């Protein structure tokens, strides 16, 4: 290729070809590599609002033997991020022997680097791309300018070049801002990253610096679902991020409606809505230990929200005042102590006309919860109402729970009680009605029995007996018989040996466990009884037996009985042998 006119020898050395080509003496590649190490004054991409895109040479001094530029020129162009938006705030630096000059990309994505040598090749690199913490060199790839972290892949840019259009490679990050409806950034919320499809947790970061968040070092090409948690600030709604066609994002409650967000998605603009709340007074409270739960119900009584719980040492004032704000705005029926479990107080629904509330959702008063507001005067007087007490008879398990419930009436809350060591129990907080009573019993060890029994002694629901609670008063003497667990066979006993007169036979004890146990619990004693065609063989009570002439033509089997102190015996019979013969065949 002929040299351009007025090209000096030093400039010819700088323009001999691609950077990877070897050169004699001081090579351009080495000189440019040293120049890249000089400070460039890069500006962080996420926080910069710089609009002055002119730049001055950071080093113009030369020494003997260095290149001296005959004339000063510019390199101009635009830098866009991976999705085509202006990469404002990114620093673009041009290097050549003896010169390092930079410019910051402006609001419209443009940059102008001044002080470069006219008709001199320069290496350009960018710094400050969000989520990218290494120098990225400009390279021409398939006719398009992009970036690479490999210096050897850099493509020289001639001084005087204009209209250089650069598209940054996708950043291994997802970032954005969380704000309220007025555009005010919200700090202190948490954004969680879930892998799309599997739902596997991939990270969590707080919102900082006016609502900003970022996930770095993500797998290229991966898809995620974002969840904004407002647990730390109940004034705002949480939910999954759904991105609209215009790029804005809001929160939805169902993950099925969330948008898959790919690695390299930058500048998500997420709007978070405000919650509604309510306040009032709880009266009739006589203990400081119990928490009182609030629930939001639809017209048909279904629980659709859990605003929270209060107690004397948690959100409940000395006068019974409380305030809860964490609910999706809407109209609800408000329940108090309607969740299943242990409670001294009866479940109720708020009513504007009855201080103690009402027992059915159909009679409950609707309450409107408005975004950003607290609905006042949700006052409820608690009452204990009815109770059921009794004891466990029969076998006494080490641990047991009594449950009183009515699975056919959605207005009735389930109540429970832990059985005391002496076998007695008291279930409180019941309303009048017809109930089932169930006892779930447990063991302190995996080899111990576990099971369930209902009032009336049945072990299955069809065997349940109903209990009438006619009014708000105690119902006593409701005793439940717990059957003593038995040993159950898990592996039948087996007779071995040849059924011939005079030849010894042996039987295994089999494998046993207590009914309901998670792990085998072997017996303390095993007893044997040999049988001749199903009838007892007198005196044959060991694990071995030698057939006699009376056994000829008869089948022998063994009844094995397993015993474990404190539990019912278990019994199993082995398969019978072939008919006993007097002489072994072939002898």
Decide whether 386-482 matches 487-573 in CATH topology: yes
Q: To which CATH superfamily is domain 174-271 assigned?
A: Immunoglobulins (2.60.40.10)
Under 8 Å between Cβ of 499 and 580: yes
Q: CATH fold of 386-482, please? A: Immunoglobulin-like (2.60.40)
Instruction: Look at the alpha carbons of 168, 170, 176, 181 in this order and tell me if their dihedral is positive or negative.
Output: positive
Q: What is the CATH number of domain 487-573?
A: 2.60.40
* 253-296 tens-digit pLDDT: 999 999 999 998 989 999 999 999 999 999 998 766 789 999 99
- In order along its 587 residues, the chain shows pLDDT tens digits of 333 333 333 333 333 333 333 333 333 343 444 343 333 333 333 333 333 333 333 333 333 334 344 468 999 999 998 888 899 999 999 999 989 999 999 999 999 999 999 989 999 999 988 878 778 999 998 889 999 888 999 999 999 999 999 999 888 889 999 999 999 999 999 999 999 988 899 999 999 999 999 998 888 889 999 999 988 999 999 999 999 988 899 999 999 999 999 998 989 999 999 999 999 999 998 766 789 999 999 998 899 999 999 988 889 998 999 999 999 999 999 999 999 999 999 999 999 999 999 999 999 999 999 999 999 999 999 999 999 999 999 988 889 999 999 988 888 999 999 999 999 999 999 999 999 999 999 877 766 778 899 998 888 887 888 999 999 999 999 999 998 888 999 999 999 999 999 999 999 999 998 887 767 777 889 999 999 999 999 999 999 999 999 999 999 999 999 999 888 999 999 999 999 999 877 76
φ/ψ bin of 251: left (φ > 0), alpha (ψ from -120 to 50), beta (otherwise): beta
Q: Which residues pair with 158 in a beta bridge?
A: 121
Per DSSP, 74 falls in state E
Measure the CA–CA gap between 213 and 233, rounded to whole angstroms: 16
Q: Which helix (H) or strand (E) holds 34?
A: helix 28-36
- Of 490, 542, 480, 535, the closest CA to residue 513 belongs to 490
In the three-class reduction of DSSP (H, G, I as helix; E, B as strand; rest coil), residue 15 is classed as: coil
Q: Where are the domains of the chain?
A: 9-167, 174-271, 282-381, 386-482, 487-573
113, two tokens = 């680097």
Q: Which helix (H) or strand (E) holds 11?
A: helix 9-14
Measure the CA–CA gap between 448 and 181, rounded to whole angstroms: 58
Q: Which residues pair with 324 in a beta bridge?
A: 278
CB atoms within 10 A of CB 415: 27
Under 8 Å between Cβ of 366 and 338: no
């Amino acid at each position: 290729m002929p040299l351009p006119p007025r090209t000096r020898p030093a400039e010819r050395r700088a323009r001999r070809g691609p950077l990877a080509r070897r050169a004699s003496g001081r090579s351009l590649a080495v000189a440019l590599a040293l120049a890249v190490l000089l400070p460039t004054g890069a500006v962080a991409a996420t926080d910069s609002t710089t609009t002055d895109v002119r730049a001055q040479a950071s080093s113009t001094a030369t020494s003997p033997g260095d290149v001296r530029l005959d004339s000063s020129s510019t390199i101009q162009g635009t830098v866009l991020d991976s999705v085509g938006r202006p990469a404002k705030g990114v620093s673009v630096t041009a290097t050549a022997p003896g010169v390092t000059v930079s410019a910051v990309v402006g609001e419209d994505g443009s940059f102008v680097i001044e002080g470069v040598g006219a008709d001199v090749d320069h290496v350009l690199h960018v710094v400050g791309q969000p989520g990218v913490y290494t120098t990225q060199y400009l390279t021409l790839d398939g006719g398009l300018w992009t970036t690479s972290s490999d210096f050897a892949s850099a493509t020289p840019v001639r001084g005087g070049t204009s209209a250089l259009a650069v598209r940054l490679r996708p950043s291994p990050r997802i970032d954005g801002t969380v704000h309220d409806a007025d555009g005010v950034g919200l700090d202190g919320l948490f954004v969680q990253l879930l892998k799309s499809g599997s739902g596997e947790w991939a990270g969590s970061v707080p919102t900082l610096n006016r609502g900003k968040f970022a996930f770095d070092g993500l797998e290229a090409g991966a898809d995620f679902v974002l969840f904004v948690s407002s647990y730390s600030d109940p004034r705002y709604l949480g939910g999954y991020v759904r991105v609209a066609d215009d790029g804005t994002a809001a929160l939805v409650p169902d993950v099925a409606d969330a948008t898959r967000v790919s690695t390299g998605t930058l500048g998500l603009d997420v709007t978070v809505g405000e919650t509604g709340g309510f306040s009032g007074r709880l009266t009739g409270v006589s203990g400081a230990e119990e928490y009182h739960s609030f629930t939001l119900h639809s017209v048909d009584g279904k629980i659709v929200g859990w605003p929270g719980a209060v107690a004397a040492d948690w959100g409940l004032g000395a006068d019974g005042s409380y305030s809860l704000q964490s609910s999706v705005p809407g109209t609800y029926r408000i329940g108090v102590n309607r969740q299943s479990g242990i409670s001294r107080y009866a479940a109720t629904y708020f009513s504007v006309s009855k201080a103690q509330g009402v027992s059915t959702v159909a009679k409950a008063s609707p309450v409107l919860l408005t975004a950003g507001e607290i609905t006042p005067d949700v006052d409820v007087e608690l009452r204990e109402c009815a109770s059921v007490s009794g004891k466990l008879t029969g076998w006494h398990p080490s641990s047991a729970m009594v449950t009183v419930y009515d699975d056919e009436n959605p207005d009735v809350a389930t109540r429970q009680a832990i059985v005391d060591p002496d076998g007695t129990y008291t279930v409180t907080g019941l309303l009048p009605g017809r109930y089932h009573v169930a006892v779930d019993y447990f063991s302190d060890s995996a080899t111990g029995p576990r099971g369930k029994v209902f009032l009336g002694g049945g072990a299955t629901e069809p065997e349940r007996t109903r209990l009438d609670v006619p009014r708000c008063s105690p119902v006593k003497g409701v005793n439940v018989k717990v059957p003593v667990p038995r040993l159950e066979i898990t592996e039948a006993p087996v007779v071995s040996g040849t059924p011939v007169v005079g030849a010894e036979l042996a039987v295994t004890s089999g494998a046993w466990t207590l009914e309901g146990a998670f792990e085998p619990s072997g017996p303390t004693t095993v007893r044997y009884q040999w049988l001749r065609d199903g009838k007892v063989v007198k005196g044959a009570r060991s694990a071995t037996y030698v057939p006699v002439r009376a056994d000829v033509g008869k089948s022998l089997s063994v009844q094995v009985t397993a015993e474990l102190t404190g539990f019912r015996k278990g019994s199993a019979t082995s398969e019978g042998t072939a008919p006993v013969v007097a002489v072994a065949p072939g002898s």
